[in-house]
A and B are shown apart, each in its own frame.
Chain A
Amino acid sequence: MQSTFVRRLLYVALFVLYLLHNDLWFWDDPQLLFGLPIGLLYHIGFCLAAALMMALLVNYAWPRHLRDEEERESLP
C-alpha cells in the first residue's frame, strides 16, 4: 500500500511528531516516573516514536525512484 494519500499523511505525522518534541508540559517538572525524571522519560518515549515513524515511512512512503532501483537490484 503506497498511495499518495498515505505518503502525505505520513509527512504530516512527521511534522506533528516534530512539534511534539518541543514539550512545554513536563520539562520543568522534576518528579520521577518509573524511576526516571519525567522530562527525560518523555524524550526517551519520543525516540521510540521516531523509530516507529521511520518504520512507517520506510514501509509506506518509500520513494518511487528507490523502489525502481530495488526492482533492478532484485533482477538476476
Chain B
Amino acid sequence: MTLAIIVVYLGLVLLVGSLSYRLFRGTGEDYFVASRTIGPFLLLMSLFGTNMTAFAILGASGEAYHEGIGVFGLMASISALVIPSVFFFVGTRVWALGKRHGFLTQVQYFRARWDSGALGLVLFVVLIALLIPYLLIGVMAGGITLNQITGGQVPNWVGGLMVCAVVMTYVCYGGLRGTAWANTFQTLVFMILGGLAFFVIVDAMGGFSKALAKVAAQHPELLGRGENIKPLKLLTYTCIPLSVGMFPHMFMHWLTARGARAFRYPLMVYPLCIAAVWVPSVLLGVLGSVDFPGLKGPAANSILVKMINLHAPELLAGLLAAGVFAAVMSSLDSQVLSIGTMFTQDIVRYYGFQNQMSEKMQIFYGRLFVAGVLLLTYVISLFSARSIFKLGVWSFTGFAALFPVVVAALFWRRSTKQGALAAILSVALLWTYFFFQGWQTPGYTVGGTGLMPVAVILAVATLAMVVVSLLTRPPDAAVVGKFFDGAEAAEDN
C-alpha cells in the first residue's frame, strides 16, 4: 500500500512536469530560465522548495535527535533572516543584471563582470565540486525513506534510483518551467503533509505536552542548547546561510522572475515558510529520542521516517513518505538543471561552438549532462554512509565562503578579476584542508573552539578579494560601466 502511494505520487509529479511542456517555447532561454516569466507565487514556491532539501527534513530531525532543539537556532531561524536578506540585496540585483544582459548562468555574469574567461572556468569547476555533496544528500534521502517506510523490504538503492529517474525525466522534458511547476506542487505537498505528520505523530504519542514530558524525563539535555552547541559555534554558524548567494540553482531561479515586483511577496513570506517546515522537523527529531533511543551517527537520518512508520496508519504513512520524496526532489531537480545549464552555456557553448550550435542542440547537451551528473551522483550514493546534515554543512560551507565574490561583483567597482580569482582559490584550498581535517570528527570545529571552518574561510576569501584587488590594476572603466548605473550608485552613497 505504502509503495503504491509513493508510485502514484511520483506519477503525479511526472504529470505536472509534463503539463508544463505544453507551454514550452522551444528556445534555450525558455528551457533554461522559463523565458523570465515566473510570477510571485511560483517564485516563492520554487525558491523555498529548492532550498528546503532532505537537509531540512531528514537532516534537521536527525541532527535534533542528537543535539536537541538548538538545531533550530543553529540553522533555521538564522536562515529566516539571512536568506531573504540575500535575496533582497543580491538576488534582486542579479535578476536586473540578468534581464539587462541576457545571462542564463552565474558563470556568464562573473565572466562578463570581470572580463575573464579563465575566472569563469575556475568558478565552474569549484561550483560543480561543491554541488556534488548537496546532490548526494537528495539521492541518499530517497533511498533511506523508501527503505524505512517499507520496513527494510526495499533496499536503499531502489529509492535512490527512483528519485533520480523521475527527476531526470521531468527536468529533461520540461526544463526550468517544468521544474518550477513541479517544485510548487511538491513544496505544497511537503509543507501540508509535514504539518499533518507532526500532528498525527504527536497525537499518537498522547499529545504534545505528554510527549515532551517524556523527553524532559529521559533526555532533558535535548530541550536546551547543551554542551554540543557553544556560543561561538552559534555565532559562526550564521555564516552558513550566506551560501544561497552563490548556489547556482538559486541564481537561476532569481533569473526566472517575471519582474521586480515578483520578489516582494516571496521576501516577506519566506521566513514564515522556514518556521513552518523546521519547527515540526526539529521537534519530531527530539521526540524520536523517546521511541528510538540509542541511534548512533548517520542512523538518525531516518528518525522521521521511523516515527511516521511507528505512529501513522499505513495510508497516511505512504502519503507522508511521499511528502519526504517531495522535499528531496524539489531540490534535486533545480540543482541538476543548473549544472546542465552551466555545462551547456559555460563550457560547450563558450569554448566549442559559441556561434555554431542551434538552440535545439544546446538543450540536447543540457539534458545529456543532467543525465550524466545524476548517474554519477547515484553511483557515489551507493557507497556513501554519511550524516545528511554534515554532508549538507560541508557543501554550504564552500558556497558561503564564496559569498565575497558576488558581493564584490555587485557592489565594489574597484574589485578586479585577480582579486576574485584569489578569493575563489583560497576557498578551494582552505575548504579542502578543513574537509580532510574534520571529515572524520563528529561536530568538528576549528581546534575544538566552537569556531566553524566557514568563518575562517570566509574571512580569508574576503581578505584575498580586497588585498589582491587593491594590489592589481583597476578594471577597465568601460567594462565596469556596463554593470553600475548612476542611479544605483547615488542610492548606494
A-B CB contact pairs (8 Å), 27 listed: A22-B231, A22-B234, A24-B231, A27-B70, A27-B225, A35-B209, A35-B212, A37-B69, A39-B73, A40-B72, A40-B279, A40-B282, A44-B279, A46-B73, A46-B77, A50-B77, A50-B81, A54-B270, A58-B88, A63-B93, A64-B487, A64-B491, A65-B96, A66-B92, A68-B487, A73-B260, A73-B261
Chain B contacts of A17 at CB under 8 A? Answer: 81
Indicate if the CB atoms of B261 and A30 lie closer than 8 Å.
no
* Known A23-B73, A35-B212, A63-B92: A28·B485 in contact at CB below 8 Å: no
- Bitwise, A1-27 to B at CB < 8 A (1) or not (0) is 000100000000010011001111001
Contact flag A70-B282 (CB < 8 Å), given A18-B238, A27-B224, A54-B268: no
For residue A18, which residues in chain B have a CB less than 8 angstroms away from its CB?
81-82, 238
Minimal beta-carbon separation of B290 from chain A (angstroms): 15
Q: Which DSSP category, helix, strand, loop or mixed, fits chain A's interface?
A: helix
Whole-angstrom CA separation of A14 from B78 in the bound complex? 12
A30 lies within 8 A of B238 (CB)? no
Q: Mark B365-376, 1 if CB is under 8 A from A, else 0.
A: 000000000000
The answer to whether B479 has its CB under 8 Å from any CB of chain A is no
Q: Answer yes or no: B453 CB below 8 A from chain A CBs.
A: no
Chain A proximity of B52: nearest CB distance (Å): 14
Q: Give, as a whole number of angstroms, the nearest-CB distance from A9 to chain B.
A: 15
**Whole-angstrom distance between the Cβ of A54 and the nearest chain B Cβ:** 5
* B interface residue numbers (CB < 8 A to A): 69-70, 72-73, 76-78, 80-82, 84-85, 88, 92-93, 96, 208-209, 212, 216, 220, 223-226, 229, 231, 234-235, 238, 259-261, 263-264, 267-272, 274-275, 279, 282-283, 485, 487-488, 490-491
User: Could you list 13 further interchain pairs (A-B, Cβ under 8 angstroms) beyond the known A14-B85, A51-B269, A57-B267?
Assistant: A18-B82, A27-B229, A35-B208, A43-B72, A44-B72, A44-B275, A46-B81, A51-B80, A53-B81, A54-B271, A58-B264, A69-B259, A70-B259
Residues of B within 8 A of A55 (CB): 268
Distance in Å: Cβ of A44 to nearest Cβ of chain B: 6
Shortest CB distance A6–B (Å): 13
- Give the CA-CA distance A63 to B283 in the complex, in Å: 38
The chain B residue sitting closest to A37, CB to CB, is B223
Which 4 residue pairs of A and B lie closest in terms of their CB atoms, listed nearest first? A43-B77, A47-B275, A50-B271, A69-B260
Taking chain B's interface residues, is the majority helix, strand, or loop, or is none over half, making it mixed?
helix
CB nearest neighbor in A for B69: A40
In the complex, what residues of A have CB within 8 A of residue B216's CB? 30
A58 touches B235 (CB 8 A): no
Binding site for B on A (CB under 8 A): 4, 14, 17-18, 21-24, 27-30, 32, 35, 37, 39-40, 42-44, 46-48, 50-51, 53-55, 57-58, 62-70, 73
Q: Is A28 within 8 A of B224, CB to CB? A: yes
User: Which residues on the B side are within 8 Å of A22 (C-beta)?
Assistant: 231, 234-235, 238
Task: State in angstroms the CA–CA spacing of A36 and B487 once bound together.
Answer: 48
Asked if A48 meets B272 with Cβ closer than 8 Å, knowing A18-B238, A30-B220, the reply is yes
Q: What are the residues of chain B within 8 A of A54 when measuring CB–CB?
A: 84-85, 88, 267-268, 270-271
- Assess whether A21 is in contact with B78, with CB atoms less than 8 Å apart: yes
CB A66 to nearest CB in B, in angstroms, measures: 4
Q: Return the contact of A29 from the options B72, B224, B270, B282 (Cβ within 8 A).
A: B224
Residue on B nearest A62 in the bound complex, by CB: B264
The minimal Cβ–Cβ distance linking A23 to chain B, given in whole angstroms, is: 7
Bound: A66/B487 CA distance, A: 11
CB-contact partner of A69 in B73, B96, B229, B234, under 8 A: B96
CB-CB under 8 A from A48, the residues of chain B are 271-272, 275
A14 surroundings in chain B (CB, below 8 A)? 81, 85
Alpha-carbon distance between A49 and B465 when the two chains are bound, in angstroms: 33
Contact B272 A51 (CB under 8 A): yes
The one of A21, A40, A50, A58 in contact with B238, judged by C-beta atoms closer than 8 angstroms, is A21
By beta carbon, the residue of chain B nearest A23 is B73
